Chains A and B, each alone.
Chain A
Amino acid sequence: MSEHSTYVPGNAVEKWLDDRLPVVRFAKAHLMDFPTPKNLNYWWTFGAILVMCLGVQIVTGIILAMHYTPNTALAFDSVEHIRRNVSGGRVIQATHAVGASMFFVALYVHMFRGLYYGSYKAPREILWILGVLIFILTMATAFMGYILPWGQMSFWGATVISNIFTAIPLVGENIKQLVLGGFAVGNPTLNRFFSLHYLLPFVIAAVVALHIWALHVPGNNNPVGVEVKDSRDTIPFHPYYTMKDLFAMVLFMIPFAWFIFFAPDILGHPDNYIMANSQVTPAHIVPEWYLLPFYTILRAIDFNVLFIDSKLGGVIAMGGAMVMLLVVPWLDTSKVRSGNFRPMFKWFYWLFVINFIGLMYLGAQPAEGIYTVLAKVCTAYYFVYFLIVLPVLSRIETPKPLPTSISESVLGKNAHA
């Protein structure tokens, strides 16, 4: 890990520390000197933006936990208490709630960047898999966090999602009761979800550390997808990418701040300002926007397949849509990483992006009429893209010629300009 180190202890104290715990050497090698491809575009800044998002959620979350009460009788009021009485609580609570959405914006951009530039291909499979684990952990954390305000959507969202467990044959009902701590969502559920919602971000932070470790073994992929060949292809992480990442964070904070200060509730649902009521289901249950594509896939399977009934089928499809991401490195066997050099891939990729946005739109619509048909079509393309398009394209597509090095591609671009 210290192969890039150029650290020379400046004085006796630094030397003393370096001989015992070379933490300064480690930081210099990985946060400053780390050789980074010189052609990274702004899509590559979202990793740093995501680290910032996780930091924002942890800091605001720890503060909110100082004022919040995880009890069904008090939770709803305690959130209102934070918003109305706690000094600055209105902004801190809004930052946490909006922050969840901004986290997923950055997460989806980061993942779609990886899918376009083939960042999941050898030797970065483990890096990609750790990223998918972070994605799944983040969805779980966000879902549990949404229960805590104890509004109608909190309650019924939890009811719908926990009933997914009942699709498991034989032991489903018992697993559901084990998860909820009762026969329905109630006080034990709220308590344990609060506990886990506090724990999981630190688990995510640990997996992020592994993710960055796995990144720093092969180094960054880059927009042309050609591996770094020599030092002419790279520049040190600091100051070049520290500054670029910081600038991107500032840009990212502009819409973030706009939501916090001007529209803190626009991404939420009005029904969640009604306290949870186990006797009344809202007319239209909608999860938060970032879970909608997977919710659509869950709902799309409304027919039995052989011995698998529609409910279990929906759960398998939704789980499969996430698990599918784990095996992408072995489905796309094309040697060319970057979509820029894959003329056919590009079309299917952008169709996949549009299709994903379509799934998101459909998840917010009622399950009737044309929407159920479209949901089936979009769900089908989601799976076709991974299971058919990627493997087949890998065999039949003729990629465009690749530049021999990153350095050549950068200089070539300048020569044409």
Chain B
Amino acid sequence: MATQAEHTTTNRRDFLYVATGAVGAVGTAAVVWPLINQLNPDASTLALASIQYDVGPIAEGQSVTIMWRGLPVFVRHRTEAEIAEAKAVPLSDLKDPQTDEERTKPGHEQWLIMIANCTHLGCIPVGDAGDFDGWFCPCHGSHYDTAGRIRRGPAPANLVVPPYEFISDTLVQIG
């Protein structure tokens, strides 16, 4: 039996205990990580990350909903009046200030492309509705304007504009 006195100084055995424990902890973490990481989106889900869509057939004033990465995406062909209305809003009125230009591509301002999930809790807002002529989310009452910007209600941010570019005049690549 070791006496109390023998433990007052740090010795070789203490070092070995700590070193063994440290290696054991790292080893455990290395085993646990893949068991958690398997929960992340798998390769087949990530493979859907980029799509192309022809916006040509969409008439002025019409919206369509397409799918990207399992998420619904609004593509709206805005009218002149809607664009003018969006541009007329002073930034100081906005909860999440963004200009209309920041939410569209130059030369393609009539096209508004954004993920169709409310930034509050993910419901799909209803088009041509709400107090700001844009979208209204029926779940918890968020109102979006004609540029998809949050104007009133519990949602914290504007509808998300996904990364996209026009690869021709009407062909859009999302993702």
Q: Which residues of A contact B (CB under 8 A)?
A: 156, 159-164, 177-179, 181-184, 186, 188, 192, 278-281, 283-285, 299, 301-302, 309-312, 314, 366-368, 372
Contact = CB atoms under 8 A, between A and B. Distances in A.
Contact of A163 (B39, B41, B70, B121): B121
B67 A279 contact: yes
A283 B140 CA distance: 11
Contact of B124 (A162, A164, A192, A279): A279
Interface in B121-175: 121-124, 138-141, 153-156
Nearest to B125: A281
Interface of B: 36, 39-42, 45, 65, 67, 69-72, 117, 119-124, 138-141, 153-156
Contacts of B138: 281, 283-284, 366
Contact of B70 (A161, A179, A278, A309): A278
A309 B122 contact: no
Contacts of A372: 141
Contact of B121 (A159, A177, A183): A159
A181 B39 contact: yes
A116 to B, nearest CB: 33
Given A184-B69, A281-B139, A368-B141, A177 B123 contact: no
B154 A299 contact: yes
B156 A310 contact: yes
- Main secondary structure, interface of B, reads loop
A396 B144 CA distance: 50
Given A181-B41, A280-B124, 10 more contacts: A159-B117, A160-B121, A163-B117, A181-B40, A183-B41, A278-B71, A283-B138, A311-B155, A312-B156, A366-B138
B64 to A, nearest CB: 11
Contacts of A179: 39
Contacts of B156: 309-312
B140 A302 contact: yes
Nearest to B37: A178
Given A159-B123, A309-B156, A367-B140, A184 B41 contact: no
5 contacts: A163-B117, A163-B120, A184-B69, A281-B124, A311-B155
B72 A279 contact: yes
A182 B140 contact: no
B41 A182 contact: yes
Contact of A188 (B41, B72, B121): B41
A311 B120 contact: yes
B154 A311 contact: yes
Contacts of A161: 121
Contacts of B121: 159-161, 163-164, 311
B39 A281 contact: no
A198 to B, nearest CB: 17
Contacts of A156: 123
Nearest to A314: B154
A160 B45 contact: no
A277 to B, nearest CB: 10
B136 to A, nearest CB: 11
Contacts of B123: 156, 159-160, 281, 285
Contact of B72 (A163, A278, A309, A366): A278
A160 B155 CA distance: 12
B42 A181 contact: yes
B92 to A, nearest CB: 16
Contact of A285 (B40, B41, B139): B139
Contacts of B139: 160, 281, 284-285, 367
Contacts of A314: 154
Nearest to B140: A367
Q: List 6 tightest A-B contacts by C-beta distance, closest first.
A: A163-B122, A184-B70, A302-B154, A281-B124, A160-B121, A163-B121
Contacts of A278: 67, 70-72
Nearest to B40: A178
A310 B154 CA distance: 6
A299 B118 CA distance: 14
Contacts of A186: 45, 70
B115 to A, nearest CB: 9
A284 B119 CA distance: 17
A329 B119 CA distance: 38
A366 B119 CA distance: 18
A96 to B, nearest CB: 26
